[in-house]
Amino acid sequence: MAEQYSIAEISRLTGLPAHTLRYYEQQFPVLLGIERTRGGHRIYRKHHLDTISRIIRLLKDEKVSIKKARELLGEPNAAGQAEENTQSDSRNEVGGEKNGNLEHMLYLVLERLDLICRNNENRDTLLVKLLKNQPSEHKHELLEQIARCRHETRETIRLCQTVIQRGAKAN
């Protein structure tokens, strides 16, 4: 049987108060889908802890709204979304959400660049194998251009990481 946790244990492990965990259960009912004992006590499992950790990362670290976190995690529209929309609108009026949106956008760019880099590394390996077997007077120049392009992509990733870190420190 999978390891079970109580709400108090999950609270201790995540650092979140029990009322916040209950709120997240309301906002992410499909993703969390907390089981209950016959007495009505919540039963958490490892996958719940993993999901809660992702929610925390999005809400606290990436500063995205509950609505956006639901969207990113694939949670269907949940009850209470109207309340979140109202809160989101008031935050937008004050401008407090702008930094979170910028950081989130940079995070998405960073994820995309990382994917591009991994795909490029695979292509580069294949290309180098191909070029080694082919005589070509422009082979060296092409390899240098590829290396330069990869270096620029890695520098862009570092820049995004720096902006995200500075934004997090400023908040």
Q: 107 lies in a domain? A: yes
In this predicted model, what pLDDT tens digit does every residue of 14-31 receive, in sequence order?
Answer: 999 999 999 999 899 888
Q: Are residues 65 and 101 in the same domain?
A: no
Structure tokens at 73: 């995690």
Phi/psi at 116 (5° precision): -60, -45
For the residues 105-124, what does the mean pLDDT come to? 69
Residue 24 is assigned to a structural domain of this protein: yes
21 and 84 assigned to the same domain: yes
Domain assignment of residue 147, given as a range: 97-170
In this predicted model, what pLDDT tens digit does every residue of 67-97 receive, in sequence order? Answer: 999 888 888 764 444 344 444 444 444 445 5
**End of a domain among 67, 94, 121?**
94
Q: Are residues 135 and 81 in the same domain?
A: no
pLDDT: which is higher, 95 or 47: 47
pTM of the model as a whole: 0.45
- Domain co-membership, 16 together with 89: yes
Question: How large a percentage of the chain has pLDDT more than 90?
Answer: 22
Predicted pLDDT of residue 107? 62
Which of 136-166 are b and which e, b meaning 16 or more Cβ less than 10 Å from the residue's Cβ?
Answer: eeeeeeeeeebeeeeeeeeeebeebeeebee
Give the chain's domain count.
Answer: 2
pLDDT the model gives residue 123: 72
Tell me which of 47, 69, 94 is where a domain ends: 94
